[in-house]
Amino acid sequence: MPRQIIDLTATIEEGMIQNAPFHPRAPLLWTNQNHNVTQWYQEHLWSGDLPPLFDGLPPEAGQHGQGHGQQSEQVLFGTHMGTHIDAPLHFDDRPEAGDATTIPVEICMGAAILLDLRPEVGDDWGHVITAVDLAAAEARSGDSVRPGDIVILHTGHSAANAYGPDASSANYAPIHPGLGYHAPEWFLDREVSLIGVDTANLDTNQVLSAHVNFLLRPWIGKEPVYIIENLVRLEDIPRSRFEFIGLPLPIKDGSGSPIRALAILD
């Protein structure tokens, strides 16, 4: 059966939208080797011979001087850059706090439900999302949040203020919708495993209620509820139920990791 795959990941590039003032600047990219610099090695390796060409490659593809040496880059980036997942270490300062290598890959893929909060948020980019808002979005979805679900919150903020064609990036990080003080309980009651959002911070106004209640659950012997931020193109998902995948890099001592987030629809 054909599948539709929707990429929910912000492009990683120099000058990209900054997540929040507390995180490092956008990534820096250096070209470590380029085609012309490494070509001398290829010429020495081939000793005047040309590589054989198959599958219809034109002659110029194998000729010296055509820039077919290899290219590679170095990237300096923050662990909370762009579309990323938070590890417990982000808020848990204990020595045993889980870093990005401890994030279970199985909770980063699976059944997801999209809750469209755009009617509640409107153009109030400082909107505080409440349990009443979440219940209304769940009712509109025609479905319900189930134990173990990945819940994706669509506020419209990313499309309007970061990655949409008419986005005004100056408003992205300083002011954004997010969960209010008591909203985390709504997710805990439903035993979800992961929550994603199209803003720079799942909490609103740095209240930190969601981060503390979700990432510090190991303090009471329970699995954390993981957080994904800076999702994009949620408006392209045509229905409330889909499969989600967003795998972290195993960064030792990393308090988070960039991910490649995808919505998969049969």
Q: Residues 144-182: pLDDT tens digits?
A: 999 999 999 999 999 988 877 776 666 676 788 999 999
> 19 to each of 3, 24, 71, 88, how far by Cα in Å?
31, 8, 29, 18
Encoded tokens for 204: 């609103």
* 145 and 203 assigned to the same domain: yes
Residue 35 within a domain:
yes
Residue 17 within a domain:
no
Q: Over the stretch 214-247, which tens digit does the pLDDT of each residue have?
A: 999 999 999 999 999 999 999 999 999 999 999 9
- β-strand 150-154 against 109-116: which pairing, if any? parallel
CATH code of 208's domain? 3.50.30.50
Question: Phi first, then psi: what are they for 210, rounded to 5°?
Answer: -70, -45
Residue 216 within a domain:
yes
> 71 to each of 33, 37, 149, how far by Cα in Å?
5, 9, 41
Q: Is 81 helix (H, G, I), strand (E, B) or coil?
A: coil
* 207 and 254 assigned to the same domain: yes
Residue 155 within a domain:
yes
Count: domains in the chain? 2
Question: Phi first, then psi: what are they for 218, rounded to 5°?
Answer: -60, -20
State the Cα–Cα distance between residues 141 and 225, nearest whole angstrom: 22
Short-list 83, 140, 150, 85, CA closest to 113: 150
Eight-state DSSP code of residue 136: H
* E-only strand ranges, the chain: 4-7, 28-33, 72-76, 84-86, 109-116, 128-129, 150-154, 178-179, 194-197, 226-229, 241-248, 256-265
Q: Over the stretch 74-132, which tens digit does the pLDDT of each residue have?
A: 888 889 989 999 999 999 999 999 999 999 999 999 999 999 999 999 999 999 999 99
Residue 250 within a domain:
yes
* 167 and 37 assigned to the same domain: no
User: pTM, whole model, 2 decimals?
Assistant: 0.90
Q: Which residue range forms the structural domain that includes residue 141?
A: 4-11+80-265
Q: Which of 74, 104, 128 is the last residue of a domain?
A: 74
